[in-house]
Structure 1
C-alpha cells in the first residue's frame, strides 16, 4: 500500500508534553509499538527489545485513532520507577512511524516512482520484527498549501541462491509529485518483517534500495 505524506508532514510528525521538572537526564528515545486502550489513548509501549512499559499517564495522539491497537512510533520518554519499584515510561513526545505494506513492483498502479530522499540510517530491530529507516523528504508549500507526496515499499523480486537461501529485493517507492523541495522533513519508516512476501528462514537476506540525492543506497539485512 502506498501512503500519502501530506497529513504527516503538516503535523510535523510530533506531539510534545510538559516534562514536569524539566530534567531530560533520563530521557530515552525508542522505536516502539504504542498500545492504545478502549478510548484510543496510548497506555503502554513495547520496545524493540520486547520490554513492555506502562505510561505514567495515558496520552492521546492524532495518529493513533483506533482503540485496542498497537501503533508503530518513535517515542521520547523518561524511564523512571514507580512506587512499586517497577520501571515505567513518563512520556515526553512522540513521532509517528509509517509501516507500509510491501507491494509487488508490477502491481503498483501508475508505475514505480523512485524520486530521491535524504538517507540517514537503516537498521534491523533487536527483536528482528522490523527493518527501520531514518529518512527525510524535501517539501514546501505553494500559495501556503502543502502538496501530497507518496511513499511505499515495493518488492522487485526474490532470488534463490545455490545454497537454498533467498534474497528479497525491496525498493523504496517515492513520488515527489511536483511538491517543492525547499526544506527537509523527517520521515521514519518501519518495514514489518511479517509483510515480506515470504517467511524468512535462517540465512535469508532482505535488501533495501533507496534513491537519494547522493545516489543509490543499498542496505542488506540478514536473518
Structure 2
C-alpha cells in the first residue's frame, strides 16, 4: 500500500453502551455526543476538546486514549460526555475518528467500490470536515484475519464559465473477503481545510441499495 494512502482498517466499533436506567442527576442523565477536535496533553491523555460549533470542553479527569500517541497534538474523535459546568465535563467514552485525505484515482492500481451503508453525511458547522457515518458489514471466520479498507478518492475538479468549482469524490471500500454477518457503525472525516474558495463537493458512494451521490457547498 503506497505511503500516501490513508486508509481505515476495519473492524472498529464506535459505540457507547449503557445498560442501566438513570433518573435524576445520575452519571448518564445528561449524556450527549459530539465529533470533536481532541487535544492530547501527554501521550494517551486527552485534556480538552473543541466541538465543531466551537465550544470548549475541559475533561476532568483527563480521558484515556491509547491512540493519542503524540503529546500536544490534536485528533478527531467521537466524545460521549456528561453534564457541562463552566466548560468542564467528564468523558464517558472517547474513540478516534479516522481522517481520510483523498487520493487521486490515477495513483490507485486497483479501485474497489464494494457496497456499504451510508447512514449519514453532513458538513461540520465550522466547514472544516465532511463527516460520514458508515455501516460496514463484518464478522469473524476461523482461519481468516482479513481487514476491510476504506478511503476516499478524487477524480477531478471542474468549473464551467462563472460557476463554482466542483470536486468529485468517491468512497473507496474493499471488503477484502471479510464475512458480512452483521453491521457495525463507523465514523470517518474528510478534511476540507485545503479548499480556499467557495466550492461544491459531489461525493459518490456505492451502497447496498445502489449508487448514492451527495452534494455539499463549502462557503469561503
Same fold per TM (> 0.5)?
yes
Superposition pairs of residues 62-211 of structure 1, within 5 angstroms:
62-81=66-85, 86-108=86-108, 110-143=109-142, 145-194=144-193, 199-202=195-198, 204-211=199-206
Counterpart residue number, 1:220: 215
What is the CA distance between 1:53 and its match in structure 2? Answer: 1.5
CA distance in 1 between counterparts of 2:15 and 2:75 reads 14
CA distance 1:54–1:145, change in 2 (3 Å): farther
CA distance in 1 between counterparts of 2:69 and 2:182 reads 29
Counterpart residue number, 2:28: 24
What is the CA distance between 1:168 and its match in structure 2? Answer: 0.2
Of residues 3, 7, 10, the one that matches 1:3 is: 7
For the Cα contact (< 8 Å) 1:16–1:92, is it kept in 2? no
What is the CA distance between 1:103 and its match in structure 2? Answer: 0.5
Q: What is the SS of the residue equivalent to 1:221?
A: strand
Q: What is the SS of the residue equivalent to 2:178?
A: coil
RMSD between superposed Cα atoms in Å: 2.2
> Which moved further from structure 2: 167-176 or 51-60?
51-60
What is the CA distance between 1:25 and its match in structure 2? Answer: 2.6
CA distance in 1 between counterparts of 2:209 and 2:26 reads 39
What is the CA distance between 1:28 and its match in structure 2? Answer: 1.6
CA distance in 1 between counterparts of 2:145 and 2:6 reads 18
> What stretches of structure 2 of length at least 5 have no aligned partner?
none
> What stretches of structure 1 of length at least 5 have no aligned partner?
none
Q: How many residues align?
A: 210
CA distance in 2 between counterparts of 1:31 and 1:144 reads 36
CA distance in 1 between counterparts of 2:17 and 2:71 reads 21
CA distance 1:32–1:193, change in 2 (3 Å): same
